[in-house]
A and B are shown apart, each in its own frame.
Chain A
Amino acid sequence: MSNKKNWPLWEVFVRSKNGLEHRHFGSLHAADAEMALENARDVYTRRNEGVSIWVVESKHITASNPEHNGELFEPAQDKVYRHPTFYDLPDDVKHM
């Protein structure tokens, strides 16, 4: 019943400026991709926020399971040598 009443959920990604990457802005409901784009325009970009919109139906996103955070992320924590923090950067190099 709920499938008939509710439009599927879509995730919205917006590129705010040329050269920048698309970033996740939020989600919305829409019947199909075209409607999702129009709705995204109305819900997320009406104040001049972007130059490009991507929409993808939420069900197509495979997410990691928070229960597995241990095996996915923790092994990195005690290996400082994996982080490039032991180099002296010349002052002229900015934004590293």
Chain B
Amino acid sequence: MKNKNLYNYILGIADNSLILGQRLGELCGHGPSLETDIACTNMSLDLLGQVRSYYQYAAKIAEDGRTEDDIAMLRKEREYFNVLLVEQPNTDFGYTMARQFLFDVYHFLMLTELEKSTDLNLSAIAKKSIKEVSYHKRFSSDWIKRLGDGTEESHSRIQTAINDLWTYTDELFHQTEADKVMVAEGVGVDVTKLKDAYYEEVNAILEEATLSVPESKYFQKGGKQGIHTEHMGYLLADLQYMQRTYPNMEW
């Protein structure tokens, strides 16, 4: 592969959306109300749509005969580079929205920068995705406020979810080796520079939602290197089941 760094860089972005999309897809038919069920699966489809563009591009760069489906479905756990945040389970609707919110704020900031990439493919994908992600952010921020400023029960549940998931937020701003090379080439986004804006925005919404900002000093990391939490294996088993059981099947 001529450009391994670009390939890895694309996977780093795409895997976040693939895994979060899979998590949201699990809610199909299981959402708390018909309307939120459809909303979550809509967001899942938005993310999968974005993922296709990234993997098609990655497949072109890989030049090893693999298709977008092979890249999406047939890697091993350690070959997925998504952040730990997006693989966390849908414990309850509070966790689902907290995970979504904590990712959406980052995702929006990242895509805004990616749109300026010197790589025209990535810039075009970012431009297309940003409208969808802007809606995701609006939807999840709204729910954080509703749940936080809702009943005693909803307040305590969303606070618990935010507290639990907070430990996965710092990883969003870690750079991999591929990231550094791509940033230097003007292709990649320097995520370390997004951190201040991220916490400023997140904290403001938490405050509006009458929630307290967690004061964790210890953060989890590893996803970007392929070292995942215990939930990832189960998620991949679901995601990959069809391709593993019936290799090369088509829909």
Contact = CB atoms under 8 A, between A and B. Distances in A.
A42 B33 contact: no
A41 B136 CA distance: 12
A42 B35 contact: yes
Q: Is chain B's binding surface mostly helix, strand, loop or mixed? A: helix
Interface string B30-45: 0001111011001000
Contacts of B157: none
A39 B35 contact: yes
Contacts of A7: 33
For the side of the interface on B, what is the size category?
10 to 19
Given A34-B142, A38-B139, A38-B142, A29 B38 contact: no
B241 interface: no
Nearest to B35: A39
B219 interface: no
Interface in B101-149: 135, 138-139, 142, 146
A7 B35 CA distance: 11
A76 interface: no
Given A41-B135, A42-B42, A46-B42, A30 B146 contact: no
Contacts of A46: 42
14 contacts: A7-B33, A29-B33, A29-B34, A29-B35, A31-B146, A34-B142, A39-B36, A39-B38, A39-B39, A41-B135, A42-B38, A42-B39, A43-B34, A43-B35
